[in-house]
Amino acid sequence: MKNSLLIICLLFSNWIYGNPNSEIKSSEGSYKLVVEGFDWGPAVNQVIITLENEVSDANPAEFKVFAKRESSQGEIPESQKSGERDVVFAFVSDENGNRVASGKHITLVLEVSPTQPIGSPIQYMRVGNRGGNFWIDYSLTIINSKTNQVWNQAAGKIMPLVDEYDLKGKFQYGNLTMSYASFSPETKGKKAPLIIWLHGGGEGGMDPTIALLGNRAANYASPEIQTLFGDAGAYVLVPQSPTFWMQAAEGMTRGQTNDIYNEALFALIQDYVKSNPGIDAKRIYVGGCSNGGYMSLKLILEHADYFAAGYISALAYDAQYVTEQDIQKIKQVPMWFVHSKDDGVTKPESTVVPLYDRLKKAGAKNVHFTFYDHVTDITGFYGGDNYHYNGHWSWIYVHANQARTGLDGSPVLVGGRPVTIMEWMAAQAKK
Residues 177 and 110 both lie in one domain: no
411 in any annotated domain:
yes
Q: Provide the CATH number for the domain around residue 112.
A: 2.60.40.2180
pLDDT at 5: 42
252 in any annotated domain:
yes
Residue 190: count of CB within 10 angstroms of its CB: 13
Count of domains for the chain? 2
Instruction: Compute the average pLDDT of residues 25-54.
Output: 92
pLDDT at 150: 97
Residues 252 and 145 both lie in one domain: no
pLDDT at 7: 44
pLDDT at 41: 95
pLDDT at 189: 85
Residues 152 and 221 both lie in one domain: no
Residue 107's closest CA among 120, 82, 88, 121?
88
Domain end call among 158, 188, 222? 158
Residues 265 and 394 both lie in one domain: yes
Is 50 exceeded by the pLDDT of residue 25?
no
| Residue 22 banded pLDDT, cuts 50, 70, 90 | very low
Name the residue range of residue 150's domain: 2-158
Instruction: Compute the average pLDDT of residues 36-43.
Output: 96
pLDDT at 175: 95
138 in any annotated domain:
yes
pLDDT at 126: 86
CB 368 within 8 A of CB 406: yes
Is 90 exceeded by the pLDDT of residue 423?
yes
What does the pLDDT look like over 109-122, one tens digit per residue?
999 999 999 999 99
Is 90 exceeded by the pLDDT of residue 378?
yes
Residue 278's closest CA among 233, 240, 243?
233
- Helix and strand element counts for the chain (H, E): 9, 20
Alpha carbon distance 418, 415 (integer Å): 8
Residues 229 and 311 both lie in one domain: yes
pLDDT at 343: 98
Domain end call among 101, 131, 158? 158
87 in any annotated domain:
yes
Residues 191 and 94 both lie in one domain: no
Alpha carbon distance 286, 304 (integer Å): 11
Residues 183 and 117 both lie in one domain: no
Residues 215 and 364 both lie in one domain: yes
pTM of the model: 0.93
Residues 153 and 218 both lie in one domain: no
23 in any annotated domain:
yes
What does the pLDDT look like over 381-401, one tens digit per residue?
999 999 999 999 999 999 999
Residues 40 and 28 both lie in one domain: yes
Domain end call among 93, 125, 158? 158
Cβ partners under 8 Å of residue 317, min gap 6: 254, 255, 293, 294, 297, 298, 351, 355
Residues 117 and 254 both lie in one domain: no
Residues 205 and 322 both lie in one domain: yes
What does the pLDDT look like over 188-211, one tens digit per residue?
889 999 999 999 999 999 999 999
pLDDT top residue among 13 and 126: 126
Cβ partners under 8 Å of residue 23, min gap 6: none
| Residue 23 banded pLDDT, cuts 50, 70, 90 | very low
| Residue 187 banded pLDDT, cuts 50, 70, 90 | confident
Is 60 exceeded by the pLDDT of residue 19?
no
Instruction: Compute the average pLDDT of residues 54-60.
Output: 97
Alpha carbon distance 391, 372 (integer Å): 9
pLDDT at 10: 47
What does the pLDDT look like over 151-161, one tens digit per residue?
999 999 999 99
431 in any annotated domain:
no
pLDDT at 15: 46
Is 90 exceeded by the pLDDT of residue 60?
yes
356 in any annotated domain:
yes
pLDDT at 381: 94
CB 209 within 8 A of CB 309: no
CB 316 within 8 A of CB 355: no
Q: What is the mean pLDDT of the chain?
A: 93
Long-range contacts, stretch 170-174, CB < 8 angstroms, 24+ apart: 171/239, 171/264, 171/267, 171/268, 171/271, 171/272, 173/263, 173/264, 173/267, 173/268, 174/264
Cα Rg of the chain, angstroms? 24
pLDDT at 26: 52
Instruction: Compute the average pLDDT of residues 246-274.
Output: 98
Point out which residues pair with 239 in neighbouring strands.
Answer: 180
Instruction: Compute the average pLDDT of residues 126-148.
Output: 92
Q: At 40, which amino acid appears?
A: W
What does the pLDDT look like over 77-100, one tens digit per residue?
999 999 999 999 999 999 999 999
pLDDT at 237: 98
299 in any annotated domain:
yes
pLDDT at 83: 97
Is 70 exceeded by the pLDDT of residue 3?
no
